[in-house]
Each structure stands twice: as structure tokens, then as C-alpha cells.
Amino acid sequence: MLTLGVFIMSRKSWIFTLGTEVVCGRVVNTNAAYLGRRLTLLGFEVLGVVSLIDDVELISAALSLVLRTGPDLIVTTGGLGPTYDDVTLEAVARAVGRRLAVNELALEMIKKKYEELKLPLTPERVKMAYLPEGGVVIPNDVGTAPGCLIKSGETLIASLPGVPRELERMWESFVEPRLRELSARRVVVERSFTVTNVPESSAAAIVKEVLRRYGNVYVKTHPKGHEIRAPVLEVYVQVFGDELGECERVADEVLKILKDGLESVGGVIT
């Protein structure tokens, strides 16, 4: 079936948002939401997001486990800076079996930035120029620490800073254009609507039937009200495929089936 083909062809990806401050809840992980959204709209299937404390052994072990499953892409955020607990590239190096070494281009970029203020190249500053051997520098126009792109087997690993405005600039100007070139284009069409007066447990059977019929459709219901006393559901539909027109046609069809089904059990579509 064609629809199965679409899923098999989809590119698998994982996101690692690294940093103790993320894990222990001192910051809300907006980087994960940003990257999850960008990757999904690029046609990547994101399988998981992993946040870990700044522990090089834990991070490299987790990266190794995910690498062994052979995803197309791993994006890491955080841990590229000058401090003792910035250990991401060391963890990446261990996971891919390379050594960390000074990257001359990265060193040049860092040197130039600190020279602006006549600041010397201390060991902490040079640290940011250490990349896994074979890594490609991702320039950081907003901040100081460069990122790194490296291939391990079939998996591309992109490491970016944790500061959102640095991450986002580097993603949009450098990483995403390269992913567009690499990735088989996959169209993603999204729709959503709200239905009141239907408990999620009643919608479940209707959604299940749609998913049985369509292989390239994903439907999720999000309860927003109270399941029994005042049920409100957000219904989200995603259609994947090779061709926009066909995806939109399927999306319209699925939306009609869902709305009709929900109305038949007393739902009010809003």
C-alpha cells in the first residue's frame, strides 16, 4: 500500500535537550517544542525528546542507545559553552567513537569574537573550539559557542546551543536549509476542530474506525473540559503524503467523517 510506503520512508529523528536546569524544572523546555514543531513540518517523524542532567557518561550512553536504532537525525541543544558542565560535544564524540580536537575554523571564530573586547583566549574559551573529529562548524552569529554537525553511520547529529535565540537563528539559517536538501520531501497537512458534548471515551470508537481505514492519517483527541460534566475535545488530524492536493483531499474527507460521527452521538462542532 502506498500509505504504508509513506510511513516507511519517513525520516526518524530524536531531540536531546540537555541541561540540569531543564531536568529539574528551573526552565520550561520551549526548545523541545520549537524543534519538535520545525522537524514535524519538515516531514521528520520525531520519536522522542530526551532531557538529561549535565553528566557526560549518562548523555553519551543515551546517545549511543538511540544511535543504535539508526535514526536519520539527532538534534542536541545545550552544553556547548565554556563552563565545566558544558559536556555535550564530549558526549557526542564518545557516542560516535571520535576524539575531541580543536577545530581551526571554530577557534578562529571564537578568537575574533573575544578580540573585539581585547579579551585573551583562556582555556575556557578555547574549550568551545573542541569538536568531535570530522565535525562541521555551525556558525553562531548571535552568541559565542559554535555548533557542530557530524555524521555517524546513517545518522546526522546537529548540536546547537541551549540559549533559544542562538538555537533558533542557527537552526533557521544553517541546519534547516541543509535538512531540506537532504530529506525526501514529505507533505504534512494539519487540521483541528473543537467538539463539545462528547466524552473522549465516546469519541474513541469513532477515531479508531477512521484510523483503521486510513494508513497515512494520525488523529488525536485532547480533552479540554470535563470528561463527563462538560466534555470539550480538541480533535487534531495530521495527514502525511507525497503530494499536497491528495493530502488535503484526504484531510477534508477525514474531517467530514469525524464531524459526522461526533454529531451523530450528540456532539456540537465549534
- Interacting stretch for a copy of itself, rule CB under 8 A, among 76-84, 94-102, 177-185, 252-260? 76-84
One-letter identity of residue 36: G
Q: What is the dihedral of CA 252, 255, 257, 262, to 10 degrees?
A: -160
When asked if residue 214 is in the footprint of a copy of itself (CB under 8 A), the reply is no
Chain residues 97-126 in contact with a copy of itself, contact rule CB under 8 A: 113-114, 116-117, 119, 122, 124-125
When asked if residue 228 is in the footprint of a copy of itself (CB under 8 A), the reply is yes
Chain residues 49-68 in contact with a copy of itself, contact rule CB under 8 A: 49-53, 55, 58, 62, 65
Nearer to a copy of itself, 62 or 250 (CB): 62
Instruction: Determine phi and psi for 218, rounding to 5 degrees.
Output: -120, 130
When asked if residue 187 is in the footprint of a copy of itself (CB under 8 A), the reply is no
* Coil, helix or strand at residue 247: helix
Contacts 24+ apart (CB under 8 A), 136-139: 137/103, 137/105, 137/106, 137/109, 138/170, 138/174, 138/175, 139/109, 139/170, 139/174
When asked if residue 215 is in the footprint of a copy of itself (CB under 8 A), the reply is no
Residue 241 vs residues 6, 38, 197, 238, 244: alpha-carbon distances, Å: 6, 17, 33, 10, 7
When asked if residue 265 is in the footprint of a copy of itself (CB under 8 A), the reply is no
Smallest distance from a copy of itself to CB 246, Å: 22
Cα 129 to Cα 236: distance, rounded to the nearest angstrom: 44
Nearer to a copy of itself, 5 or 48 (CB): 48
- Interacting stretch for a copy of itself, rule CB under 8 A, among 91-99, 174-182, 226-234, 239-247? 226-234
Which triple of cell numbers denotes residue 4? 504504508
Give the largest Cα separation in the chain, rounded.
Answer: 73
When asked if residue 256 is in the footprint of a copy of itself (CB under 8 A), the reply is no
List 47, 102, 105, 268, residue binding a copy of itself (CB under 8 A)? 47
